Structure formats: C-alpha cells, structure tokens
Structure 1
Amino acid sequence: MTNDAEQAKRPVSAALAGPYGHPLHPMLVTVPIGAWVSSLAFDVASLIVDDPGFLARGSVWLIALGVVGALAAAMVGTLDLFAIPSGTRAFRTGLTHMGLNLAVTAAYTVGFFWRRAASDEAGPVGIGPLVLSAAAFVVLAASGYLGGKLAYRYGVRVAAESTQAEGFTA
C-alpha cells in the first residue's frame, strides 16, 4: 500500500472526524439524505391527497433538518478531505463530491426560504419548489456516487485490508 493511500485512511483528528476505521461522516450523511428523500416524498404526496397542507409544512421542516444535518456532515467530511493527499485522483474526487454537496445544500436552503415566502398553509407544494428539490436530489445522488467511490474504490477512511481481515478469523 502506498503512503498516500495509508494517509487517506487515517483521520486528521480522531476526536472530531471519528477514529481509524470508523469515520463519522458516513453516519452523519444519513440525516440530510433521509430528510431530503422524505421531503420529496411529502412534496409528491401533497399533490395527490385531499388535505395537502400538513405534507407541505412537513416538507419545509424536513428540508431545514436536512440542511442542518448537511452542515454537520460537511464539517467532518472536510476533515476527511484533508486526510487525502492533494494532487491525487482521490483528492479531486473529494473536491467534486464536496462541491456538489455544497450546491445541493445551497439549493435546499433556497428552496426552504422560497417555500416559507410563498407558503399556502392549505395547499400543495408549488411546482417550482418541487422541481428545485427534485433537481437537487439528482445532484445529491451523483455526489453520493462519488462518496461511494471515495470509500469503496479509493478506500478513503476505510481500514486497511489487514485490519478488515480480523473480522474473518475464527
């Protein structure tokens, strides 16, 4: 294993980013992903039910929860990015992953304020905010693919195979 690959497996700060082999970033990203997937489901459901107001209101707060969760995930994700040697393919992938996630978070933040300003307490989600959320979700999926590539292809913040082998001994 190269020194660059080994460096990318070690946390910059175990106290802030999680210990070796157990990073916090993958755990934290479940909050914005889950909240934003749920908000999109609420958006669509608000178009087909008789009483859409509660779904539209719930979607707004799910978006807010996702933004807060994304900011927490971004903080520890940035620490994981600092562990990757610059100038490498993994580092460039990490920068793209981060940039896409920042764009997604910005889009959901805009969507939150758009919905709050145009809130019709009883009506369904407007087509504009729904399209913005759907587009942001597509970009989120692309970014998630890159995050998976960082972990599963490049092994960023994943324990070395020798450490993994411990789990397969009798």
Structure 2
Amino acid sequence: MELGANDLPYRLPIHPNLVHLTIGLFVIAIAFDIAGALFPFERRLFRFLALPVTRSGLHDVGWYNLLACCLISFFTVAAGFVEMQLADPLPGITSSFAMGSTATMLWHGAVGVALLFAIVLMTVWRGFQRFRWRREMGRQVQWSYLLVGLLVFALMAWHGTLGAQLGVEFGVHVTASQLLGEGASLREALP
C-alpha cells in the first residue's frame, strides 16, 4: 500500500476531523439539555432578548445532537484505530505526561473505546428519559444524567490532551509538518 506524507493512504487524517465533530455534538447536546433543565430561570432572559425559545425545543436540540454524536462516534473510533495502526511516532521522546508514544497511543485508544461506550449508554439513557420515564414532564433530563455528561466532558478533555500529544509531541499524522520536513513549500503543505 502506498502511504502519503502523513503515513496514511489518504492526504489528510480523518480521525481528528471526526473527533472534533463528535466533541462538538456532545457538548451541544449536554449544553442544551442543561439550558432546558434551567429554563425556568432563563425564561425572562429569552423573553427580554425576544428569542422564541421553549423548553421542549432546547431538549429536542440536546436529544438530536446526542443521537448524531452516538452515530458519528463509531466512525470516529474506527478511523482512530485504522490511523493508530499506521502511526509511526518519533522515537525516544517522552510526553509532558511522562509517557512514551506507545503508552500514549494505548491510553488514547482505550479511553476512546470507553468514551464510545459511555456515549452509547448516555444515548440509551437519554432515550429512555425522553420517550418513557419523563415524556410527560417539562424537564426531560435527570440531574444525574447532566452530572454524568459533565464527567464525560472531563474524560473527553483528558482524552483530547492525549490525542494532541500524539500529534504535537510525537508527530503522529501531522501532514503539514511531514510535508514541510520533506522540503515542500507551505502552499503544497496546506490543503
């Protein structure tokens, strides 16, 4: 198989793009569910700003973003494992977490799978809240669900830091850096 400048069979890594989509969808889902849960306190602000916002509308945004996040996460993890198998990290470097490249990749992969599992469980939990347990209530989400969502945020932050270390400190799949190192111009290095 012919590998490009980033050690992948395609020009740009797919995993980082899907990661940012996954994180964005999850953050929006939890943020809108928090806004929906706190709606009675925010109602005056929305009315003052002349925004036609309803509690159910906020919860709808939360639900559909979490559902999309769940579906995209499978592709994110799959792309991550494909790209991890083709990674060629810089040897002899220790990260700011005092880990080598192999340990960082293993932790990043393991936490990625754990996050996928957590997102799927949260989507099922959110679905039961929306369609079974709380469908007749104004606030569709339980406070415990929101707390778990915030804990998943923290896990995502640590996981993202490990992924950033793979790119920045170990040079894994950094296309522009690889091309510039091979003598390409800046115009050729950027898509």
The verdict on a shared fold, with TM-score over 0.5 as the criterion, is yes
Change (3 A) 1:99 1:141: same
Aligned-pair distance for 1:118?
Answer: 2.5
2:101 counterpart residue number:
90
Change (3 A) 1:8 1:137: farther
Aligned-pair distance for 1:163?
Answer: 3.8
Correspondences of 1:128-143 after superposition (within 5 Å): 128-143=144-159
**Runs of 4 or more above 4 Å deviation:** 85-88
Aligned with 1:157: secondary structure?
A: coil
- Where do 5+ consecutive residues of structure 1 fail to align? 1-6
Does the 8 Å CA contact 1:63/1:112 hold for their aligned counterparts? yes
- Where do 5+ consecutive residues of structure 2 fail to align? 41-53, 93-99
TM-score (normalised: structure 1): 0.80
Aligned with 1:156: secondary structure?
A: coil
**In the alignment, structure 1 residue 113 sits paired with structure 2 residue 93:** no
The alignment covers a number of residue pairs equal to 156
TM-score (normalised: structure 2): 0.72
Change (3 A) 1:65 1:149: same
What percentage of residue pairs aligned between the two structures are identical?
A: 22
Aligned-pair distance for 1:52?
Answer: 2.1
Change (3 A) 1:127 1:164: farther
RMSD of aligned Cα (Å): 2.6
Aligned-pair distance for 1:32?
Answer: 0.8
Aligned with 1:84: secondary structure?
A: coil
1:166 counterpart residue number:
185
Please tell me whether Structure 1 or Structure 2 has the larger radius of gyration of its CA atoms: 2
